[in-house]
Amino acid sequence: MPLALLPSCKSQSACTSPWLCDAHVLVQGGGVDEPDCRTQICRHNENTDLIAWRGAIYLVHRTAQSQVLGPNSSLRISRSDDGGAHFTLLSIIPAPMGDPLLGDRDLRDPSFYIVGDELYLKALVRLPVTSARDADVDTRSVLSHTKDGVTWTSFTDVSGGGWSFWRVKPGPSGYFSAAYEDGDKSVVLYSSSDGKIWNKGALIYGVAADTPLETELTFLPSGRLLALVRMDGTDDELAGQAGRLRTKVCWAQPPYEHFDCPQELTGQRLDGPVSFFWKERLFVVARKHLPTDDLKRTALFELGGTLEGGPLTIKEWGELPSAGDTSYAGVAPIGDTHVLCAWYSTPLAFDEPWVVALLDASDIWQATFALDSLR
């Protein structure tokens, strides 16, 4: 079914700031009362990613009743052939239910990558267990792939129990993903020569008291690897409304067998991050924590300083339309100066505390960034 969108960012009247254009809801969850999240759109939509493949842009997102883990969830994959002006639904991948190997599990945190002429999808499946820091959920990082975007293979488990891949990145010698341990106790590097069979490698960061989890990898032009480690901290800091807000900065040189973590970005905890280069500038879209009332936003940041080895600086360019439970963005280039971005947010009028919004409705949003306006 087609999803009609607003005009492209080339219409300056559609821009609400010099760089943020055409921000609008793409998939609406607010007001939806659908019980079957395995085949239909439900009220809580989240966990987006975008990729350019074979001349089109592909979008994936999760739909469910809430953030609560459970098999009543699915991933929905759509394609745009006109730079994001319209999307067409191609495929729905339901969460495992009655699977002979996986049993009944939740499905979330999808991201794309490309191997040869095929499009790959990484996701996480977890037991429907309620626990602090996702302890005891027996996470499996799983892969599926396609030749046409419509027909996808069955999931294969590539991490073994207890490890969550964040985002797969192509590197100088294969494919790489940071993976965090159930209970958010440590982060390690997984690598693959072919994008299919994965090996567990070096420890990226292992201070369990800092609660390390989602870790975004970025390969620098020299081949040096940057890892931005989300750190949720103590029980009091977990929700991001009190105490320290920190992101650990770690580095490794090829062959990526050892990481040094000499710096923290203080004042910003980059939840659900996605990084991308544009003309030698490094940007990150991630969740921003407001200092009071447990309120959240999704924002565009730029990392500066010495990109090749640090120290790094961080600058916020501004917020995207967002509130409540939000972030987990995807990006895809559209031309030399613009990037398409998708993310999710609780309906803006609610502007609920995050711990409330986790159980409420949320929408998938889309906008175009005019990066040449960021001066």
Question: For residue range 56-74, what is the model confidence (pLDDT) as tens digits?
Answer: 999 999 999 999 999 999 9
Distances (CA, A) of 6 to 83, 86, 336, 364: 12, 8, 21, 14
Structure tokens at 76: 């929905």
Residue spans of alpha helices (H) in the chain: 354-357
What pLDDT is recorded for position 2?
38
pLDDT of residue 6: 32
DSSP for residue 184: T
**What pLDDT is stored for residue 11 in this prediction?**
46
What is the residue range of 184's domain? 2-7+16-373
Residue ranges, the chain, pLDDT below 70:
1-13
Mean pLDDT (the chain) is: 95
Q: Could you give the CA distance from residue 69 to residue 105 in angstroms, rounded to a whole number?
A: 8
| pLDDT confidence of residue 112 | 99
Please state the domain count of the chain. Answer: 1
pLDDT of residue 291: 83
Collapsing DSSP to helix, strand or coil, 271 comes out as strand
Confidence at residue 299, expressed as pLDDT on a 0 to 100 scale: 98
Residues 219, 255: Cα–Cα separation, whole Å: 12
Instruction: Give the per-residue pLDDT at 1.
Output: 38
pTM of this prediction? 0.96
Instruction: Give the single-character DSSP code of 99.
Output: B
CATH number of the domain to which 53 belongs: 2.120.10.10
Give the burial class of 112: count Cβ atoms within 10 A of its Cβ; 0-12 exposed, 13-18 middle, 19 or more buried: buried
Token reading at 122: 């990484």
pLDDT tens digits, one per residue of 88-138: 999 999 999 999 989 999 999 999 999 999 999 999 999 999 998 999 999
- DSSP-derived letter for residue 291 is S
Question: For residue 291, how many other CB atoms are within 10 A of its CB?
Answer: 10
Q: Where are the beta strands (DSSP E) in 269-362?
A: 271-278, 281-289, 296-305, 312-320, 326-333, 338-345
Q: Specify whether the CB–CB gap between 65 and 38 falls below 8 A.
A: no
d(CA 161, CA 37): 25
Residue corresponding to tokens 């191609």: 90
Give residue 193's region: left, alpha or beta (phi > 0; psi -120 to 50).
alpha
pLDDT at 292: 79
